[in-house]
Chain A
Amino acid sequence: AQSVTQLGSHVSVSEGALVLLRCNYSSSVPPYLFWYVQYPNQGLQLLLKYTSAATLVKGINGFEAEFKKSETSFHLTKPSAHMSDAAEYFCAVTLSGGYQKVTFGTGTKLQVIP
């Protein structure tokens, strides 16, 4: 079984400030981990993924995340927030075997303050 926990359902940052969205996972086997972004009334867009290669993964729009097995974490960061980053972000996990159904977290809504 697998699960993810996102800490903080709402996060506010000032434009230009560091973005840090927290995610911890639980998995019985080596996981694949993802961050998705969802803009209002739009579908899910894959930001980045960890699939057991490099532990620091870079994604689109300047986001990156680091897989830390010892901490069971996969936090999402961006050095400088932009107004266009305001959206909802979902951390997700799937097992590395089988047909890989995705388990999502409950989401973190990011607000960027001008």
Chain B
Amino acid sequence: GAGVSQSPRYKVAKRGQDVALRCDPISGHVSLFWYQQALGQGPEFLTYFQNEAQLDKSGLPSDRFFAERPEGSVSTLKIQRTQQEDSAVYLCASSLLGGSGGYNEQFFGPGTRLTVL
């Protein structure tokens, strides 16, 4: 595909349900990022993958959040036992390189809007 795609675009979950959000990065991109954008706020970093390795998960808000990228391409962000405060737009971004220096542009997907009732 031409860009980063995410699915589903919208997800409604009842409190306590588990959800899985998918990100398809641009083919060949080494780096993959997840961000969370709460209503009226700027996106905030959640986690970073370089190929299949999760190198930074410092932004994950709790142990209910789990991300994986097992084959170094598609990534899934899983949220267990969803809470109302998890309601947000979840953005995925990919970039061509890893931490090799020089500017490395991130390309953002359209996001998944999660609403927890």
User: Which chain A residues have a beta carbon within 8 Å of chain B's beta carbons?
Assistant: 32, 41-44, 46, 49, 51-52, 90, 92, 96-107
Contact = CB atoms under 8 A, between A and B. Distances in A.
Contacts of B35: 102, 104
Given A106-B42, A107-B41, A44 B48 contact: no
Which bucket holds chain B's interface residue count? 20 to 34
Contacts of B44: 104
23 contacts: A43-B91, A43-B109, A44-B91, A51-B103, A52-B103, A92-B42, A97-B99, A98-B99, A99-B50, A100-B99, A100-B104, A101-B33, A101-B45, A101-B48, A101-B56, A102-B33, A102-B45, A102-B93, A102-B106, A103-B45, A104-B35, A104-B44, A105-B42
Contacts, number: 58
A79 to B, nearest CB: 26
